[in-house]
Chain A
Amino acid sequence: MYRYDDLDRQMLTDRSNEFRHQAARRLSGEITEDQFKPLRLMNGLYLQLHAYMLRVAIPFGTLSTAQLRRLAWVATTYDKGYGHFTTRTNVQLHWIKLRDAPDILDALAEVGLHAIQTSGNCIRNVTADPYAGATADEVDDPRVWAEAIREWSTVHPEFSYLPRKFKIAVTAAEKDRAAIRSYDIGLHLRRTRDGELSFEVMAGGGQGRTPYLAKTIREHLPASRLLSYLDAILRVYNRAGRRDNIHKARIKILVNSLGVEEFARQVEAEWAQIEAAEVDLPDTELARIRAAFQPQVFDPQPAVSPVFEAAKAADPEFARFARRNVHPHKVPGYAILDISLKAPGETPGDASSAQMETVADLADAYSQGEVRVNYTQNLVLPHVKLADVPAVYARLKEARLATANIDLITDIIACPGLDYCTLANARAIPVAQAIAKRFADPERAEAIGELGIKISGCINACGHHHLGAIGILGVDKKGEEYYQLSLGGSAGADAELARILGPAMSGQSIPDAIETLVETYLAHRQDGERFLDTVRRTGLQPFKEAVYAVAD
């Protein structure tokens, strides 16, 4: 996997030294909070309800075991012994002290981790398919391109003060596991008929107050021209994006007010002006990055593992884990293994330091030293031999990390909500916990099948409620925590925004309402339909009637 070079490391050390001095000046009273706040935010340090929060970037969700161990160490030494993995594949530490922050940034810099561009109106952490480099359905490792974007966008002088934050996601697989259409720019790499790598470029996606799915502005962009084309998009946005109203400043508003054709036309015109050679990645650079992501050597394995098959036959719980959390790998005899951070009753996305250590140990022993963070707030071991899956499972189980619920009703996305976040209207975590406990019976959850519940504590939609088969949004109704349900959203290739079901309801009514939705689905389900398919076929009406008839 990609390792930072000396240049990158020097930059991180310099930045953390700089922050040490800035923080010292704030603590001594030399600079005011108003002067200091933008500086700390530029280093990922927010002040939340109970403490400072440090948001650490995990580029394209790829972690080395040294990095994961360092995160565990920081969480133990400076926080309360856990980290929270987010829908942006970042990790947040919720109990940080300002006086410790410079030391933490130093400790992170040593392993190539940082918090740069995790805040502010700049190009944020680039995300990618969590199965990159492991899945058979990709045409290339998308992280090669995500890394090129990371290098191009890191402290980019022209794009460090955009109208608003800017997020880019990349996939190179047919199945979109990176929610690319919910991004400011979504990039889908494919091979053309003559074998060339080419991006479908989508722009103007985003969630929040005014959700939009990104629209295609160019069907075929030769992959080698990626950076100049991104430059052109960012220039058009930087020039014309609104700066007068924070709610209208994202690129989605620009794309939709100009219309996608006009926006694309302006991008093409700008692109024609750009000196491509100065921006596009030279072949040598691409080769250097590509080499860093060179596929590992995989020992030849039999496609069917007798050990794996025997374990499934012997233990129904393990068989369930194999069905839910183990996915095909591009190399026969290997598997991609999802680690759920959604044990019913736990906080979605939280991992204790001990759990992080366990995952790091397992990755070293069984997954070529690599760990991935999925935007669904789960972790992934990308390269596990099928024959090793039973051993990995046993260790995960000891660490309470073997919940077999990937994509099921208990695999809930939830933002930190009012328990931590200063912007929240309502809590999200306890709602997720209550639903997960209600559906904790794994057999029942599996019988219900694929069902994504996504919860946000406010309209900013960090919990992706617009993209939930069931979306739950916390609202403030006359000063009380209320929740608005919406149905039919999805993030993948069939991306669609969820539609509001009806009036908001209290937190206590949510588990019953979910129960009613599930029963309605089961009553209407036709062969092989997921919850989402049924909702799309029947529309909202039967669900609305069921939920609000009970509520009345």
Chain B
Amino acid sequence: MKVLTANSLTTGEVVFWNAGRWAVAFNDGQRFDGDEDAAGALTAAEDQPRMVVAPYLIDVEDMDGHWVPVAYRERLRALGPSNHPQHGKQADGDADVQALAAVTSSARSTGRIKLIRR
């Protein structure tokens, strides 16, 4: 599965594509099953240069019942920096964020993480 992400042009904030609009929470992002749909969304996103900078697709996977980005880098983007738990999206700390954070840290200790690959 794939999710389409970018940074907002005006604020730089990490955003996720959902049916032509941009959501700020990873879990509100649309998940694409087929490569074709994903590629189509990417083309559409690239057509919104006043909204976002450098849209790209990331791999996501189901881990213990939660969708999470495969790459650790993307988990950090979806959550915020690990040295300031009150900064970034993780600050809101809703159930989705907590699940993502939990999966991320347990993945860390089991070594089930991939870092840089998007």
Contacts and interface: CB of A to CB of B under 8 A. Distances in A.
B81 A50 contact: yes
Interface in B35-56: 49-50, 53-54
Contacts of B102: none
A28 B49 CA distance: 10
B116 A419 contact: no
B11 to A, nearest CB: 4
Interface string A346-360: 010000000000000
Interface size class for chain A? 35 or more
A181 interface: no
A51 B73 contact: no
Interface residues of B, number: 30
A419 B73 CA distance: 8
Interface string B76-89: 11001111100110
B77 A49 contact: yes
A97 B8 CA distance: 9
A29 B82 contact: no
Interface stretch (A210-218, A376-384, A473-481, A495-503): A473-481
A29 B49 contact: yes
Interface in B78-118: 80-84, 87-88, 109, 111, 113-117
A32 B53 CA distance: 10
B7 interface: yes
Contacts of B7: 47, 51
B10 A51 contact: no
Contacts of B88: 50
B72 interface: yes
A29 to B, nearest CB: 5
A165 to B, nearest CB: 22
A26 B113 CA distance: 37
A96 B12 contact: yes
Interface in A42-92: 47-52, 80
Contacts of B13: 50-51
Interface in A275-302: none
A95 interface: yes
A427 B82 contact: yes
Contact of A479 (B9, B71, B77): B71
Given A32-B49, A433-B83, A479-B115, A98 B76 contact: no
Given A96-B12, A98-B11, A419-B76, A33 B53 contact: yes
Contacts of B115: 418, 425-426, 476, 479-481
A49 B50 contact: no
Contacts of B11: 51, 97-99
Nearest to B52: A33
Contacts of B87: 50, 80, 95
A429 interface: yes
B111 to A, nearest CB: 7
A476 B116 contact: yes
Contacts of A27: 9-10, 50
A420 interface: yes
Interface string A414-450: 0000111000111101100100000000000000000
Nearest to A53: B12
B14 interface: yes
Contacts of B114: 478-480
Given A418-B73, A479-B115, A52 B12 contact: yes
Contacts of A480: 72, 111, 113-115
A98 B10 contact: yes
In this complex, which of A347, A433, A479, A506 has the most chain B Cβ atoms within 10 angstroms of its Cβ?
A479
Interface string A463-492: 000000000000010111100000000000
A29 B81 CA distance: 31
Contacts of A96: 12
B49 A419 contact: no
B115 to A, nearest CB: 5
Contact of A49 (B10, B73, B84, B111): B73
A479 B13 CA distance: 25
Given A33-B49, A429-B81, A508-B109, 4 more contacts: A98-B12, A418-B115, A419-B76, A480-B72
5 contacts: A47-B53, A50-B87, A419-B83, A479-B71, A506-B111
Interface of B: 7, 9-14, 49-50, 53-54, 71-73, 76-77, 80-84, 87-88, 109, 111, 113-117
